[in-house]
Amino acid sequence: MKRIITLLLAACMVMALAPAIAVSEAAPLDPYTFEIYYNYDWWTIKPWGGDEASKYWQEKFNITMEQTKPDADASAKLNLMVSAGDLPDVIQMDRGPDHSRLASLGIFIDLQPLMDVNPTLSEEILESTRDLLKVNDTLYSIPHWARKGPTGGNDVWMYDLRLYEQAGSPDLTTFEGLYEYAKYVKDNIPETVEGLPTIPFATENNNNAWDKIVFAFYRSFGGPNWAADRTAHIGGELKSVLRDGNFKDAVLEANKWYREGLVSPAQFTDTNDQMVEKFVSGRTALLYYDHSQDSVNRFRQILMNSYPDDTYTVLTDPVYPTKAGVTKVYPDQKETLGWNVLCITTAAEQPQRIYDLYSYLLTKQGSIEMMYGPQGDWWDELDENGNPVLKTPESVLSTEEKDRIGAWFWNFCSHSDNVDSTKYAVNAMQPPELQDFVITTQDKVLTDIMFMTDEYAGLNATIDPLSDVGIARTLCDEQWKAELPKIIMAGTEEEASALYDALLKFFEDNGFAQIEEIYNARHQELVEIQGYTAYAEYGN
């Protein structure tokens, strides 16, 4: 009887802390420790319970989360763990062939029994999304950054204010205008006022700069967003973008920019840190970049601190300038499935406890605590819409204070709608001069043009990477990565065009048509389920 009374009192305490959140009545109260493995060698780890947010969850759920990741070669490490039977309690990984393979091997547990006890996941995640996440008709995955509506956005065109004004504040409403601005800086503004050499155009470099540039240009040329393995909805079917004349034009345009010195060779050899060093010194006239990185590497904030009369300004009208004759541009798309997934393995001794924690993090309350910490520190009360009233605007809170609170760090299991709707509302409460640049841009500029479609969801998982088709796919991908830089850096347009045609022929000779056939069949199924394609207007 004493044990029952204790359990009831604890349940009441949990309900008092978050009355809208379901927590398993059967969850034991004894301390529980489990291990999560992030299948990414770049993942950042810090101790659970060492900041206010994770300490609060640790006490609320009486649970400790130990974290591991691979030092290098995540795929090899994952395969070794599976083959050795040395499984963590949770694996966070991309959706795709490896995820489907592990699910089929019986490594992950079915979430439905856990949902029967605690329905939070079914309340927060659309049924259609849960269906798309299933492998062999079974749901094994808790999605990260799932959504019900399109919000947010990342990649934008930006210009350095001082260089832009020095260039005469030219019109940047067309793709031709972007080119003319970059060319003017190259020809007429070789140095900043501090004597540093200028960079006409740049983007990030994370071994993906080649794709980043040609995709940005392809978008301005009217091209659709990419699906798996750089396929796209072209002429009513999924095909390699190499088959699209608009894409070839975009690649040849990138080659032109390179030949004319608007894209520096260092773009493809410098590290990301080296690129950011250039961004923060006011040297880069035109950027195509993930503006939300200002919340991470603070490229814009550092620039403004160093040069108070300078900043990076986001293009807004339009966000993505098009070349002459293009009437339709496709902005960023979002899937309801979000990014990656968390899967509880058969090694977990108390999977319900893990599920209860993670499903809680998907809720509005969990989202508030992830962003702003628990009640009583950075905020004390909620407004009439359930959003926290911050004691200090986020834009002026020090990095040390954010680290102490754990603000935004534990976003490994988050819900896009709950996060975005909350952060937009909280940001709007602040004085205009103290509103956050990234949040304001996402709220006022990008959310309005965002669209959502699940028609590309899980396409790459339809091919076994160890099958003949999967091996052919890997071969084509490796050839793309080897040849695209050569195309962009070719000495003449004729050479670039010939290399492009050779790359397309390589795809054709190595069975990419079969890959397209498999992807297209699944794409048509998804379009039928969804009831529409977001790319009906793209008939090239």
For helices 272-279 and 299-306, angle between their N-to-C axes, nearest 10 degrees: 40
Check: CB of residue 224 under 8 Å from CB of residue 320. no
Check: CB of residue 89 under 8 Å from CB of residue 326. no
> What's the chain's average pLDDT?
92
Which residue type sits at 94? Answer: D
Residue 339 has, within 13 A of its CA and on its CB side, a CA count of 10
**pLDDT band of 13, cuts 50, 70, 90:** very low
170 preceded by a cis bond (ω within 30 of 0): no
Q: Closest by alpha carbon to 289, among 183, 228, 199, 216?
A: 216
Mean of pLDDT values over 220-239: 95
Q: What digits encode the pLDDT tens for the residues 431-449?
A: 999 999 999 999 999 999 9
Residue 5 has pLDDT above 80, yes or no: no
Residue 299 has pLDDT above 50, yes or no: yes
Residue 341 has pLDDT above 50, yes or no: yes
User: Using CA atoms, how far apart are residues 522 and 301, in angstroms rounded to an integer?
Assistant: 44
Mean of pLDDT values over 288-293: 95
Mean of pLDDT values over 83-103: 94
User: Using CA atoms, how far apart are residues 103 and 91, in angstroms rounded to an integer?
Assistant: 11
**pLDDT band of 477, cuts 50, 70, 90:** very high
Main-chain phi, psi angles of 497, to 5 degrees? -65, -40
Residue 200 has pLDDT above 70, yes or no: yes
Q: What digits encode the pLDDT tens for the residues 372-405?
A: 999 999 999 999 999 999 999 988 888 899 999 9
Better pLDDT: 465 or 280: 280
Main-chain phi, psi angles of 263, to 5 degrees? -115, 125
Main-chain phi, psi angles of 59, to 5 degrees? -75, -40
Residue 471 has pLDDT above 60, yes or no: yes
**pLDDT band of 9, cuts 50, 70, 90:** very low
pLDDT of residue 197: 97
**pLDDT band of 240, cuts 50, 70, 90:** very high
Which residue type sits at 196? Answer: L
Which distant-in-sequence residues (6+ apart) come within 8 Å of 323 by Cβ? 174, 175, 176, 220, 221, 222
pLDDT of residue 540: 61
- pTM of the predicted protein model: 0.86
